[in-house]
Amino acid sequence: MRTPLIATLTALALLAVPAFAAEQTREAYAAAVEPICKSNKAAADRLLGPVKGLVKNDKLKQAGTAFSKAATELEKTQKKLAVVPQPPADTAKLAKWLTEIKNEVALMRQISTKFRQGKKGPASSLAVTLQQNATKANNLVIAFQFNYCKIDPTKYT
Amino acid sequence: MKRTGAKRPMHEPKASVGVAKRLSAAIVAALLVASVSVAGSLADTTQQGTLRVKFGGHLSPTRLPRTGLAPVAVALSGDITTTDHSTPPQLSTITMAINRHGRLNPTGLPRCHYHQIQPASTGEAHAACADALVGTGSFRANVALPDQSPFPSDGKVLAFNGVLHGHPVIYAHIYGTVPVPISQLITFRIHRIEGTYRVVLSAQLPQVAAEWGYVSGLSLTLKRTYRYKGQPRSYLSAGCPAPQGINVANYPFARASFGFDDGRTLHSRLTRTCKVR
């Protein structure tokens, strides 16, 4: 009789450990995702930094390529962020945030296409939407007090 | 912190002096927040610990010339809250910088002097310095009284063009009547820096005890057009210098810092959109 009891307690203990280990806090989540966003920011600075100058000089194809590459980088980042364990109370909010980041990727690809087509005006209109979308995304995660994970496309657009 | 002579009750209980101080502290903090928040359709919210500051507002009109400047109005709004509903710390400093494509020019505008509007009710201040008025607004605050729950208070804000020690300033006159009539004047120094944000407005708030009250919200709109030497002028003007072929553009509108008496400083940047007319 003793053996089954010990086995049961051991099994319960083993079950309990992962349950506690999965309890992610906001601070721990922020600490886990900020380095991911930091490397994306470095890539975005490198790729999108020259975009304003390119557009002013009508080098729209290069601007389009830069947006396309930056979109690919952001997509990779979004996938990395999606696998980080989330605080249980914030899963719905973070799901929306990750969706908004996906929307940013889609918008950047659309901007890239417009630039490649030589359509400066529609591209700039999409850049406005990109900014508004970024503000929406940022407002979802205010409580995490992000630094690098706060989206700020203004300096590129 | 001064009381207005015109509204002073004849037989005022001593306790109301403390109330006046509390209200004044809250009003001062509210005004500072108002001056810093400049924004557009979507507010920008920043948080440190449990302290949260939300900025909102807009520039109008949004349709502006590609070259040159046009008269504009800047509407500002702000909220200070805490996520755990505790009393926020007192605001001690406020700094706001506006994009270099916006211009603040008081040339030819009449000036208001400190002694003309302090102490004074809103009506008295307006009557004394109507020609120097550059903006209006309102504030909301929660005043904390001993052994009572904080209660809401609100009042009007008037912004006047002024000069202090030879430099241009904005005198922000704030006036509330609940629980007692109180007026306060905050001086925003105007100076210029290099970079994206060029016009800087900064003010230092008097240190007050945190238990006196806290700001819950505010709004302020800066706008003034006038004539000088026969020419139309505007206190605030702006353009939308988008490259040729682009008729709508994002731009960094303003940057703000809020310093609190517990050592925390919250920073915010506001992005807005302009259209070429």
Q: How confident is the model at residue A71 (pLDDT cuts 50, 70, 90)?
A: very high
**A147 in contact with B at a CB cutoff of 8 Å?**
no
Our CA-based measurement puts residue B31 at a distance from the nearest CA of chain A, in whole angstroms, of 24
Q: How many CB atoms neighbour CB B262 within 10 A?
A: 13
The answer to whether the CB atoms of B42 and A132 lie below 8 A apart is yes
Our CA-based measurement puts residue B277 at a distance from the nearest CA of chain A, in whole angstroms, of 14
Task: List % helix, strand, coil for chain A (3-state, nearest 5).
Answer: 80, 0, 20
Q: Is the pLDDT confidence value at B67 over 60?
A: yes
What's the pLDDT tens digit per position in B83-111? 998 888 878 888 888 888 889 999 999 99
Nearest to B245 among A121, A135, A143 (CB): A121
| More confident: B71 or B243 | B71
What is the C-alpha separation between B120 and B182, in angstroms, rounded? Answer: 8
**B246 in contact with A at a CB cutoff of 8 Å?**
yes
**A131 in contact with B at a CB cutoff of 8 Å?**
yes
| More confident: B241 or A155 | B241
The answer to whether residue B4 sits within a structural domain is no
| CATH code of the domain containing B73 | 2.60.40.1510
* Amino acid (one-letter) located at B89: P
Mean pLDDT for the stretch of residues B108-137: 94
What is the C-alpha separation between A143 and A141, in angstroms, rounded? Answer: 5
The answer to whether residue B9 sits within a structural domain is no
Q: Which residue of chain B has the CA closest to A156?
A: B250
The answer to whether residue B195 sits within a structural domain is yes
The answer to whether residue B181 sits within a structural domain is yes
How many Cα atoms within 13 Å fall on the side-chain side of residue A92?
1
pLDDT at residue B111 in the model:
96
Instruction: Please state, for a pLDDT cut of 70, what percent of chain A lies above it.
Output: 84
Mean of the per-residue pLDDT values of chain A: 86
What pTM, to 2 d.p., does this model score?
0.78
Among B41, B250, B272, most A C-beta atoms within 10 A, so best to mutate, is: B250
pLDDT at residue B25 in the model:
47
The answer to whether the CB atoms of A131 and B273 lie below 8 A apart is yes
**A47 in contact with B at a CB cutoff of 8 Å?**
no
The answer to whether the CB atoms of A131 and B247 lie below 8 A apart is no
Our CA-based measurement puts residue A58 at a distance from the nearest CA of chain B, in whole angstroms, of 10
> Which H or E run contains B70?
strand B70-71
**B178 in contact with A at a CB cutoff of 8 Å?**
no
Q: How confident is the model at residue B11 (pLDDT cuts 50, 70, 90)?
A: very low
Q: How confident is the model at residue B144 (pLDDT cuts 50, 70, 90)?
A: low
The answer to whether residue B3 sits within a structural domain is no
Mean pLDDT for the stretch of residues B17-27: 47
Q: Is the pLDDT confidence value at B187 over 80?
A: yes
Our CA-based measurement puts residue B43 at a distance from the nearest CA of chain A, in whole angstroms, of 8
What is the C-alpha separation between A148 and A37, in angstroms, rounded? Answer: 5
Q: Is the pLDDT confidence value at A68 over 90?
A: yes
Domain that holds residue B72: 14-276
| More confident: A91 or B201 | A91
User: What are the domain boundaries of chain A?
Assistant: 25-155
What's the pLDDT tens digit per position in A84-119? 999 999 999 999 999 999 999 999 999 999 999 999
pLDDT at residue B212 in the model:
57
* Amino acid (one-letter) located at A151: I
What is the C-alpha separation between A110 and B60, in angstroms, rounded? Answer: 29
**A2 in contact with B at a CB cutoff of 8 Å?**
no
What's the pLDDT tens digit per position in B26-51? 444 443 333 333 333 577 889 999 99
**B46 in contact with A at a CB cutoff of 8 Å?**
yes
pLDDT at residue B145 in the model:
66
Lowest mean pLDDT among A20-24, B157-161, B205-209: B205-209
The answer to whether residue B2 sits within a structural domain is no
Lowest mean pLDDT among A33-47, A63-77, B179-193: B179-193
pLDDT at residue B94 in the model:
82
Question: Is B248:B235 a contact under the CB 8 Å cutoff?
Answer: no
The answer to whether residue B142 sits within a structural domain is yes
Q: Is the pLDDT confidence value at A6 over 50?
A: no
Our CA-based measurement puts residue A105 at a distance from the nearest CA of chain B, in whole angstroms, of 18
Mean pLDDT for the stretch of residues B124-143: 90
Total of domains in chain B: 1
The answer to whether the CB atoms of A139 and B45 lie below 8 A apart is yes
| More confident: B63 or B34 | B63
The answer to whether residue B7 sits within a structural domain is no
